[in-house]
Structure 1
């Protein structure tokens, strides 16, 4: 097998989702979550339960705030887009939809944890509703690409939207259907985004990424951004 064949074979393997019983074992200790968002100055994690655990790994934010977990390729660029949106209270990057507890970035890159690079977005629906956020989500990446975004290939780059409530899940599905009509009109492909309740995505948890990944592009303004967008505009 030539080096080129080996390269494409390796890329193909990275696009296969690992089974739960074949995932890396991970660890019991959590990655330390920074106290405040570097740009917004708000907490990136909600309050724990009385027993010290955090719901879905995220915790509980103040009443009136809503959270959703979105994935659209490299999490550095997706997070940067959303922390600039008026009404967004906080953001954080992490790993979701997989099986390895408390994974590292390096483990996630092996495609053996099942996770996708994801961004937690906590927002005030009185300022921007979920449909408004999802409009940005659908337009800012290519949801028709399966297990990749542009030159970033692998299960860690798959498009996903993980909702925390049934109502929000219905909104995700409705906006996906709306955006699909625009994709069809533009001659683009079919949305491949993984749409699930967060509780049913892998082990049901969002794991915060390492500190140096949080608000990476605020720390490294000339850093890598991958936005393999379709150029299609969300209707309305």
Structure 2
């Protein structure tokens, strides 16, 4: 979806598509780059992080390249419609954003370091948009899996807002919400590791050029 004069609006639960109890498609067993299973259960000691930062093709590649990332997969999250298809998510009637699930080893890479990559890889001030991609499915989001993740994400947003403001950028629009109650629905097989299968494929994400402080401080410090 590209630039239009209409401002995207999230559907209410009553307006959202009803979806289905089970997915209509399967997910490949293993990651084409990392070689590890896409779906859990994952090995003990690994942790999960969920991010939305625009088109999930380029977003996923950004994370699978990081040391300590065990597997990644793309899907739909944050909306109402259960088990949506790509076409349904793109319609704007599911409420989902395109998301990347990152399964990582916290002894190698921390959640804070993942957040730094997240903030710097896209422009979190654009609302329902990343570059020329416009729609509710392109909104910036962090879905947290623990109170510790939530606190770290909130602190990182506050720290990044300070440096963005100092660089002349606007207000961060990223939603930070618990993953509980916002299930991650894996996307179709052809979307998984898309830019590994199609190296010349489209990647619409791009950052602000402003570095996010690492070792973020609490918002009230």
TM-score w.r.t. structure 1 length? 0.87
State the alpha-carbon separation in 2 of the partners of residues 205 and 104 from structure 1: 14
SS class of match (1:126): coil
Question: Where does residue 33 of structure 1 map in the other structure?
Answer: 27
Would you say the 8 A contact 2:143–2:177 is kept in 1? yes
SS class of match (1:168): helix
Return the match for 1:113 from 88, 94, 108.
94
Q: Which runs of 4+ in 1 moved over 2 A?
A: none
SS class of match (1:28): coil
Question: Where does residue 219 of structure 2 map in the other structure?
Answer: none
1:63 Cα deviation after fit: 2.0
Write the deviation string for residues 94-118 of structure 1: whole angstroms up to 9, x where unpaired: 0000111110000000000000000
**What value does the CA root-mean-square deviation take over the aligned residues?**
1.2
Question: Where does residue 24 of structure 1 map in the other structure?
Answer: 17
1:234 Cα deviation after fit: 1.0
1:139 is the counterpart of 2:116:
no
Question: Where does residue 39 of structure 2 map in the other structure?
Answer: 45
Write the deviation string for residues 44-93 of structure 1: whole angstroms up to 9, x where unpaired: 1112xxxxxxxxxxxxx222111011000000000000000000000000
State the alpha-carbon separation in 2 of the partners of residues 218 and 196 from structure 1: 30
State the alpha-carbon separation in 1 of the partners of residues 40 and 4 from structure 2: 42
Q: Give unmatched runs, 5+ long, in structure 1.
A: 1-6, 48-60
Return the match for 2:163 from 171, 178, 182.
182
Q: Give unmatched runs, 5+ long, in structure 2.
A: 215-221
1:227 Cα deviation after fit: 1.9
SS class of match (1:175): helix
Question: Where does residue 205 of structure 1 map in the other structure?
Answer: 183
Count residues in correspondence: 211
Would you say the 8 A contact 2:4–2:134 is kept in 1? no
Return the match for 2:71 from 90, 93, 98.
90
State the alpha-carbon separation in 2 of the partners of residues 131 and 165 from structure 1: 13
Return the match for 2:138 from 139, 144, 157.
157
Question: Where does residue 210 of structure 2 map in the other structure?
Answer: 232
Question: Where does residue 69 of structure 1 map in the other structure?
Answer: 50
Return the match for 1:168 from 131, 149, 160.
149
SS class of match (1:119): strand
State the alpha-carbon separation in 2 of the partners of residues 106 and 150 from structure 1: 20
State the alpha-carbon separation in 2 of the partners of residues 35 and 235 from structure 1: 36
